[in-house]
Homo-oligomer: A and B are copies of this chain.
Amino acid sequence: MSVANMTPAEVRALIRRNELVRPTSGMANGYTQANMAILKKDLAFEFLLFCQRNPKPCPVLDVTEPGSPVPRLVAPGADLRTDLPKYRIYRHGELVEEVTDIVQYWEDDMVAFLLGCSFTFEQALMNNGIPVRHIEEECNVAMYKTNIPCVKAGRFEGPMVVSMRPIPEKDVVRAVQVTSRFPAVHGAPVHIGNPESIGIQDLHKPDFGDPVTIKEGEVPVFWACGVTPQAVAMQVKPELMITHAPGHMFITDLRDEQFGVL
């Protein structure tokens, strides 16, 4: 059976046994994948507050009890210490290691945050016949730092990072409607059109990810990006912070459609 058609629990079991150490795109189709950030409890309130104040870049899907690696709301049978294919360990804001499990790093006062990711709304766009360029071109989505400030919470502050997808003019309205249905995974765009209005100088030079082709008659459309909370948290230089490795997401038990508000 292909990993595309497996259940989330089946895919996570393979990942747990280190038999599937690769990006999770295309696994357990139809199920919601999530970004992960783990912080110590002393920063957890401020980070949760930051997410609550900035729901577009930081849509919270689940937060674990301090010390528990079990995401009870979105996957009660999972263990966040082992069930992602690859993790990044940051000390004082510096990447120090990439590992395939974090059992040895786990501490009693850790809190794991699972945040919605763009895979869900990209699938919804494609289900509506709207092309997603970086998937067509098999590269990473183009991401940019903007001049849009996030709302500060305690020590957490910084600019919003956005992802850009070129959308055919005739599909722009529908793209807004479709993604508005999914506020738990970034929701509606934050900007349509002129990149300079939000502080982006050159679409061909993204700050993260890869540049993509923008065709004649296509409009750049910008969504709040899940890189934002990690970038902001990194500036605080926490003693220890653990995240998923880019593209190596956590696969939840919930279906994308369950996050549609209407």
Contacts and interface: CB of A to CB of B under 8 A. Distances in A.
A61 to B, nearest CB: 10
Interface string A32-69: 00000000010011001100110000001001010000
A187 B177 CA distance: 18
A100 to B, nearest CB: 29
A261 interface: yes
Interface of A: 41, 44-45, 48-49, 52-53, 60, 63, 65, 72-73, 151, 153-154, 177, 180-181, 183, 187, 261-262
A65 B154 contact: yes
A53 B48 CA distance: 12
A180 B73 CA distance: 22
A154 B49 CA distance: 17
Contacts of A72: 151
Q: Provide the main secondary structure of the chain A interface.
A: mixed
A52 B63 contact: yes
Contacts of A45: 41, 44-45, 48
A41 B154 CA distance: 13
A151 B73 contact: yes
Contacts of A73: 53, 151
A41 B72 CA distance: 25
A108 B260 CA distance: 40
B261 A183 contact: yes
A146 to B, nearest CB: 20
A180 B72 CA distance: 25
Contacts of A187: 261
Nearest to A154: B65
Contacts of A65: 153-154
A49 B48 contact: yes
Contacts of A183: 183, 261
Nearest to A187: B261
Contacts of A151: 72-73
A46 to B, nearest CB: 9
A19 B170 CA distance: 55
Contacts of A153: 65
Contact of A52 (B52, B154, B262): B52
A48 B45 CA distance: 8
